[in-house]
Amino acid sequence: MPGILDPKGILSRVPYQGLTTFWRADHTQDLTGVDFAVYGVPNDIEIVNRPGTRYGPRAIREQSLYVGFPGIHWPNDYDLMQEYKLIDYGDIPFYPGQVDQMLANTEEHVGLMSAAGIGTLGLGGDHLVAYPAIKAHAKHHGKISLIHFDAHTDTFESTHLNHGSMFWHGVQEGFIDPDSSIQIGIRTIVPPGGDRFTILTSHQCIDMGSKAIIEKVRQVVGDRKCYISIDVDGMDPACAPGTGTPIPGGITSAMQREILWGTHGLNVVGGDVVEVSPPYDPSHITAILGATVGMDVVYAMAAAPFRNLTRKSNL
Ligand SMILES: [Mn+2]
């Protein structure tokens, strides 16, 4: 008697039951009436250190079933799934090892979503998967301001696109505006030219505290169209051990989340959670964290003024 025993459908979200999609969203590529779409890009072949992020999207999806159960993603006061249409688009298709195909297909699929007015959340995959997604959004929204969490700036000049050079390429190609972009949690060398971005090292962040960081983010980005890219290695390896290039001395997951809550009201067009590498984390805590901050990004997209969304109810 499911209708009687479970009038709000809460039991259908029991974490260990049923098929796995992100946050139990419907798996479809039909974009009709969709507000937000989550997609995976299981790519990890042009990285500079340890592989494994190809398993990231699946692990984040699985752990997302434990996040926000039974429907409220604390500290938000409403169930996003009840108020808006969120879908799990599935993974972007590409033949294993074919990075050019991954880039082209990601750009094309995210482009379709962006053109339909949909806010996107990408699940990496290594950080290169952010490049085609931002490029696709820039085609519809114009130059993008980046809110980038990472231990590394990923602005290294290189003839090749990889997970440490893609934001240099994004600036060169003109779809990322470094002057209205901010990088948070950095604790590795800043390459020449990389300082056009506003940079907060992890140690500055710890000194400043979340409120001052949020103020800085809002000041740098303003009301521009922005994209939130979360490399989980921006957080300390104690919080996110399952990643390819961990650097000790990062911000905490608590600070990461507080900063994301502080992005409500900014014009967030899309975002991603990248570099979750399950083979290095048998506890799955990194994937749980990936799902948690991923949902935080979706809630931030729902609060973007340009989207002008109205909730279905006043829950
Ligand atoms: Mn990165």
Q: Which CATH number is 96's domain given?
A: 3.40.800.10
Could you tell me the pLDDT band of residue 71, with boundaries at 50, 70 and 90? confident
Residue 142 CA to ligand 1 center (angstroms) comes to: 23
Residue 215 CA to ligand 1 center (angstroms) comes to: 23
Q: How many CB atoms lie within 10 A of CB 93?
A: 11
Q: 46 in a domain, yes or no?
A: yes
Phi-psi region of 178 (alpha: psi -120 to 50; beta: other; left: phi over 0): alpha
Residue 231 CA to ligand 1 center (angstroms) comes to: 5
Cβ–Cβ < 8 Å for 137, 98: no
Residue 234 CA to ligand 1 center (angstroms) comes to: 8
The residue behind tokens 């890009």 is 41
Segment 54-60 mean pLDDT = 98
Q: 83 in a domain, yes or no?
A: yes
Report the C-alpha gap between 147 and 7 in whole angstroms.
Answer: 40
Residue 76 CA to ligand 1 center (angstroms) comes to: 27
Which residues, chain by chain, have CB under 5 Å from ion ligand 1?
127, 150, 154, 231
Q: 8 in a domain, yes or no?
A: no
Q: 297 in a domain, yes or no?
A: yes
Q: 18 in a domain, yes or no?
A: no
Q: 10 in a domain, yes or no?
A: no
Residue 90 CA to ligand 1 center (angstroms) comes to: 23
Model confidence at 188: pLDDT above 60: yes
The whole-model pTM stands at 0.96
Q: 273 in a domain, yes or no?
A: yes
Residue 307 CA to ligand 1 center (angstroms) comes to: 28
Residue 149, φ and ψ in degrees, nearest 5: -100, 130
Q: What is the pLDDT of residue 1?
A: 47
The residue behind tokens 């992020």 is 53
Model confidence at 8: pLDDT above 60: no
In tens, the pLDDT along 238-294 reads 999 999 999 999 999 999 999 999 999 999 999 999 999 999 999 999 999 999 999
Residue 315 CA to ligand 1 center (angstroms) comes to: 37
Please tell me what DSSP assigns to residue 179.
G
Residue 71 CA to ligand 1 center (angstroms) comes to: 30
Residue 81 CA to ligand 1 center (angstroms) comes to: 29
Residue 127 CA to ligand 1 center (angstroms) comes to: 5
The count of domains in the chain is 1
Residue 151, domain extent: 26-307
**Can you list the alpha helix ranges (DSSP code H) found in 121-252?**
130-141, 166-172, 202-208, 210-221
Model confidence at 13: pLDDT above 90: no
Q: 12 in a domain, yes or no?
A: no
